[in-house]
Amino acid sequence: MRRMYVAGNWKMNLNLAEAQKLIEGITSKLPTHLPVDLGVFPSFVLLHPLTKILEGTPIRIGAQNCYCEQSGAFTGEIAPAMIKDIGCDSVIIGHSERRHVIGETGELLKKKILAALEVGLEIIYCIGEKLEEREAGQTEAVLARQLQEGLGPDVDLNRVVVAYEPVWAIGTGKTATPEIAQSAHAFCRQEIGKLYNTEAAEKVCIQYGGSVKASNAQELMAQSDVDGALVGGASLKTDEFIGIIQGAIAAQS
């Protein structure tokens, strides 16, 4: 059985004091034995202090992005090796805001994935369709293309989590119904099977992301191919994030 993984993407939010308070609030309400995986992805400037604060807790920490080179004249970029060096174990690559706001291409994202894997980081690889693509019946074509761009024989699937995030549901308050989420996740698992094999596809964790909150978390994660959540705004609120974690635990039991 695949283990649930709930990750909080803090995006460009929180100063250090706010981050410490949030971590303290979350850790104080976690069960003694946490039966799901849990991670937070703060901004770059918070990574180093938070790796120290999170020592001894069950919460993993990773970066929201990285560059595709390990060093060099790339002003403003962060190398995967730097992220690994300060104690992080994972990185988000391909979030829709990187794709559609910053303009990152599939080719660049693949280079980032390979560079991150090279230094031992694990990947949360984000995919998802825009509203106009869904309305045009292109959802599956978009997901298949993005999976093909980022994954394949040169990528160790054992170190990759896929996050399906319908772009029309990120930060909009709109959430895919459990049925829509399940259909997209099942399709993704099928396509991953084509890129690797059925056995590998059955093992890969596929998170759902897109306005996940405490009130809908359990129903979404109870779907057979939904293996957790990549949470945006709700991960900045202690009670909401704890509610989502509780939803994951209930859905897994």
CA distance 226 to 219: 10
Provide the pLDDT for residue 157: 98
User: Which residues are catalytically annotated?
Assistant: 95, 165
Q: Look up residue 139 and give its two tokens.
A: 């959802």
Number of domains in the chain: 1
Say if residue 175's pLDDT is above 80. no
- Over residues 165-187, the mean pLDDT reads 90
Which DSSP helix (H) or strand (E) runs through 229? strand 228-231
Indicate the pLDDT class of residue 244, thresholds 50, 70 and 90.
very high
172 vs 202, more confident: 202
Say if residue 253's pLDDT is above 90. no
Say if residue 193's pLDDT is above 90. yes
Provide the pLDDT for residue 49: 97
Indicate the pLDDT class of residue 28, thresholds 50, 70 and 90.
very high
Which one-letter amino acid corresponds to residue 207? Q
The answer for residues whose C-beta is within 8 angstroms of residue 132's C-beta and 6 or more apart is none
How far is the CA of 224 from the CAs of 34, 50, 214, 219, in angstroms? 21, 34, 19, 11
% of the chain beyond a pLDDT of 70: 100
Provide the pLDDT for residue 169: 87
DSSP E strand stretches across 2-89: 5-9, 37-41, 59-63
Average pLDDT score, the chain = 96
Say if residue 232's pLDDT is above 80. yes
CA distance 93 to 154: 16
Q: Is the dihedral of CA 134, 108, 88, 63 positive or negative?
A: negative
- Over residues 157-184, the mean pLDDT reads 92
Provide the pLDDT for residue 59: 97
Provide the pLDDT for residue 153: 96
List the CATH number of the domain containing 126. Answer: 3.20.20.70
CA distance 25 to 20: 9
* Least confident residue range of 68-72, 169-173, 214-218: 169-173
DSSP state of 224: T
% of the chain beyond a pLDDT of 90: 93
Say if residue 206's pLDDT is above 90. yes
Provide the domain limits for residue 238.
Answer: 5-252
Phi, psi of 186 (to 5 degrees): -65, -40
Q: Angle at the Cα of 58 (from 56 to 61), degrees rounded to 5?
A: 90
Q: Token pair 């040169």 is at which residue?
A: 154
- Over residues 47-70, the mean pLDDT reads 97
Which one-letter amino acid corresponds to residue 9? N
Provide the pLDDT for residue 171: 77
Q: Is the dihedral of CA 173, 93, 36, 56 positive or negative?
A: negative
Largest CA distance in the chain: 49
Say if residue 174's pLDDT is above 90. no
pLDDT in tens, 98-154: 999 999 999 999 999 999 999 999 999 999 999 999 999 999 999 999 999 999 999
Provide the pLDDT for residue 170: 80
Indicate the pLDDT class of residue 81, thresholds 50, 70 and 90.
very high
Burial class, 56, CB count within 10 angstroms (exposed 0-12 / middle 13-18 / buried 19+): exposed
